[in-house]
Amino acid sequence: MKIAFLFLALLTTTAIRAQQPADNDAYKKFVPAGYEVRDAVSGDLNGDHIPDVVLVLQPKAAATSPDTPEARPFMILLADSRHRLSLVVTNKDFILPADIGGTQGDPYVSTTIDSCSFTVQQYYGSRERTRTETTFCYVPAKKDWLLNKVVITTEDALNADAAQTVVKKGKQLKPVSIKKYTGD
């Protein structure tokens, strides 16, 4: 029992350490005026064993019109051998606007990085809720991250037995780049 607990504690510590937010401020120079960092996660995104950074940004002020929600840029910053960051991807359509989460609040949940791939979780709705987990994997030949897996879970707060999960991966998906992904 003690060994199992020790193993679980070690595994949890390792997972937490791998997903810690970027700890230096080098990424802040990539944040445009009028935006702030909603999330910053570091990990190896391209297989060079050097920690890179994923940023999710949000406007500092609320949208001026509810009909035109402001974009929340998703950015990938790669680090070179001297740990200098460079911006390689900006996608303004991937992260859902903060005000469409319904009773669940902000739909953005988290980004995780694992072995040259990243997964973004978003959750929205009120009585009828949707959770999406979208995974992109790095393809060295293309020097790009391509859509690899989408998990969509729908649930009804009044009928827990009605929850459905759809998993699409591999040939079920178009190999779309993170640069052009819109969530469709």
pLDDT in tens, 130-172: 999 999 999 999 999 999 999 999 999 888 888 899 999 988 9
What local confidence, expressed as pLDDT, does residue 67 receive?
A: 59
Average pLDDT score over residue span 87-101: 91
Looking at every residue in the chain, the average pLDDT score rounds to 85
- Residue 30 phi, psi dihedral angles, 5° rounding: -90, -5
Residue 63 DSSP one-character state: -
- Distance (Å, rounded) from C-alpha 73 to C-alpha 89? 10
Average pLDDT score over residue span 33-62: 94
Q: State the pLDDT confidence band at 107, using cuts at 50, 70 and 90.
A: very high
Sign of CA dihedral 87, 93, 99, 101: negative
What pTM was estimated for this model as a whole? 0.82
Are the CB atoms for 27 and 55 separated by under 8 Å?
A: yes
Give the DSSP H/E element, type plus range, for residue 147. Answer: strand 144-156
Q: State the pLDDT confidence band at 20, using cuts at 50, 70 and 90.
A: very low
- Distance (Å, rounded) from C-alpha 78 to C-alpha 25? 14
| Tokens standing for residue 133 | 């987990």
